[in-house]
């Protein structure tokens, strides 16, 4: 009989919990921007609620992706080892996990403020809806980027209860950053996706064209980081973080070639995770050092 510890670890693996590191630092940026640029004060309870919202929304989205794609994943040699097709987590259990996390997410927003609560179903529609998009549009990568881009503006709304331009600039940066690196990740499945009539930028443009578009999207992301810095008149620490962020985005494109995808995981997981965390640290240093 499977132990509770193993069951818990299976669900962490199902949702790739470690990948929360991509968007969470930008949620933290959004939270502390609100603290700095408004009269709001740091509230540990509110901060914890924001983090929980991130965890619940992402867990629901990732588990739904695994649930809805279980038959596709089963046919793909690269993904057949995932928890559902491998029989480690039952489809019904995964669906219950999705529903539970959706309820927890909406319930958590209730304790933040009315605006976040009212917008919570919209946020779930975006992050869950992404999993269906590759069946009908190559723009699925942008939908994923849109889902993660809710992190900074969502955290800002949690503190202030109102929209503002500055967190939106960071949301746009996340949108194009995530879309760009998801295109790189999708290169691995170009042939499989084409054979199953699934849509993606690599299927639409080929490997070379997809990498070129990914480059452009990452340049746009850097552009929003630069514009946010000018708009808010950030100081040296911010610009140091912006340079490191930009260099890491550039570096990942040196790792992946149309005829050599051996370093996709290094580009996707390691480089982007470091870029997100390091940039957030430098933004916080600029705000408080």
Rounded to the nearest 5 percent, the helix, strand and coil shares of the chain are 80, 0, 20
Q: Which two tokens stand for residue 69?
A: 């794609």
Q: How many CA atoms lie within 13 A of 93 on its CB side?
A: 13
d(CA 55, CA 16): 11
- The alpha helices in 76-135, defined as continuous H runs, are 91-110, 114-133
pTM equals 0.93
Asked whether the predicted pLDDT for residue 2 surpasses 60, the reply is no
What pLDDT sits at residue 1? 38
| CB 270 within 8 Å of CB 259 | no
Instruction: Catalogue all structural domains in the chain, each as residue range(s) with its CATH number.
Output: 18-288 (1.10.357.140)
Query: Crossing angle for the helix pair 165-186 and 201-231, nearest 10 degrees?
Result: 150
pLDDT 10s digits, 18-34: 667 788 999 999 999 99
Q: Average pLDDT in the 89-95 region?
A: 93
Least confident stretch, 176-180, 260-264, 266-270: 266-270
């Amino acid at each position: 009989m499977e132990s509770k510890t193993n069951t818990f670890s299976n669900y962490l693996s199902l949702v790739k919990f470690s990948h929360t590191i991509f968007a969470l630092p930008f949620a933290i940026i959004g939270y502390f921007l609100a603290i700095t640029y408004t009269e709001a004060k740091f509230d540990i309870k509110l901060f914890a609620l924001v983090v929980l919202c991130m965890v619940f929304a992402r867990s629901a989205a990732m588990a739904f992706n695994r649930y809805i794609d279980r038959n596709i994943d089963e046919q793909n040699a690269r993904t057949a080892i995932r928890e559902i097709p491998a029989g480690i987590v039952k489809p019904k259990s995964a669906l219950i996990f999705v529903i539970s996390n959706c309820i927890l997410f909406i319930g958590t927003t209730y304790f933040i403020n009315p605006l976040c609560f009212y917008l919570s179903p919209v946020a779930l529609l975006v992050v869950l809806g992404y999993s269906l998009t590759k069946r009908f549009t190559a723009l699925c990568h942008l939908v994923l980027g849109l889902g993660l881009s809710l992190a900074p503006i969502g955290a800002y709304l949690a503190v202030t209860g109102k929209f503002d331009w500055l967190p939106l600039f960071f949301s746009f940066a996340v949108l194009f950053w995530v879309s760009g690196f998801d295109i790189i990740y999708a290169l691995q499945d170009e042939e499989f996706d084409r054979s199953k009539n699934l849509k993606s930028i690599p299927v639409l443009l080929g490997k070379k064209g997809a990498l070129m578009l990914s480059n452009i999207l990452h340049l746009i992301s850097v552009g929003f980081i630069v514009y946010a810095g000018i708009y808010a008149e950030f100081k040296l620490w911010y610009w140091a973080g912006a340079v490191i962020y930009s260099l890491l985005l550039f570096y990942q494109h040196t790792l992946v070639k149309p005829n050599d995808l051996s370093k996709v995981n290094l580009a996707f997981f390691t480089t982007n995770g470091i870029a997100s965390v390091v940039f957030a640290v430098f933004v916080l240093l600029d705000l408080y050092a």
